[in-house]
Chains A and B, each alone.
Chain A
Amino acid sequence: GAVVSQHPSRVICKSGTSVKIECRSLDFQATTMFWYRQFPKQSLMLMATSNEGSKATYEQGVEKDKFLINHASLTLSTLTVTSAHPEDSSFYICSASWGGTTYEQYFGPGTRLTVT
């Protein structure tokens, strides 16, 4: 149980375009979803936290107008990178928590974004 999927697993886009990444909890309802960014050989950096039906809470230094997060249902959150630039190239990972008797986070497999 507690499976989280991400789509796509890899995406290449041209500079200036927008790209959407989906995160789904497959077998549980996720009251909270998290979006992380990870650079090579570095730790996970939390970008934002979202609760279903509410606006996302962004970490300091993360541009909310550039990284649009929508948590439209208890099983789906999306991250849209708007007007992508090469420096946005990274590994994006989502996680989900159902917040019942445990606040454990279950991580998705990640999405490799390359902006050319």
Chain B
Amino acid sequence: QQQVKQSPQSLIVQKGGISIINCAYENTAFDYFPWYQQFPGKGPALLIAIRPDVSEKKEGRFTISFNKSAKQFSLHIMDSQPGDSATYFCAAMVETSGSRLTFGEGTQLTVNP
């Protein structure tokens, strides 16, 4: 019940295209859903996050879509750039539990020039 399932494992997109990464969860107590971007040899960095009271959040080229009834959320990267090539992790948290994050398995995104 604590798992977060992420797909696809890897994704190749052409420059300018849309990258879509999906995550699904079981624990309905989760109330905070962040996405992290990780470059090789570096720690993860927060990209964008959403709470279940909204269905969509957009920051620049990055959008989270959230479907509470389906227990799914996704990251959309518009106008993907080679610099976006990285590993992306979705995560979920029960905020009152002391910020323990449950991570998805990760998606390795490659944006070809």
Contacts and interface: CB of A to CB of B under 8 A. Distances in A.
Interface string B30-48: 0010101000011111100
B106 A43 contact: yes
Contacts of A97: 99
Nearest to B94: A103
Interface stretch (A11-19, A64-72, A76-84, A106-114): A106-114
Interface in B63-101: 89, 93, 95, 98-101
A29 to B, nearest CB: 14
B108 interface: yes
B93 A103 contact: yes
B87 to A, nearest CB: 8
Interface residues of A, number: 24
Given A97-B99, A103-B93, A112 B43 contact: no
B103 A41 contact: no
A43 B42 CA distance: 13
A105 B98 CA distance: 10
Contact of A32 (B34, B44, B45, B99): B99
Contacts of A4: 43
B18 interface: no
B49 interface: yes
A74 interface: no
Most chain A beta-carbon neighbours within 10 Å: one of B36, B44, B105: B44
Contacts of B98: 32, 49, 99, 103
Interface in B42-59: 42-46, 49
29 contacts: A4-B43, A6-B43, A34-B100, A34-B101, A41-B106, A42-B105, A42-B106, A43-B103, A43-B106, A44-B44, A46-B100, A49-B98, A49-B100, A91-B41, A93-B43, A93-B44, A97-B99, A99-B99, A103-B32, A103-B93, A103-B99, A104-B49, A104-B99, A105-B99, A105-B101, A109-B42, A109-B43, A110-B41, A110-B42
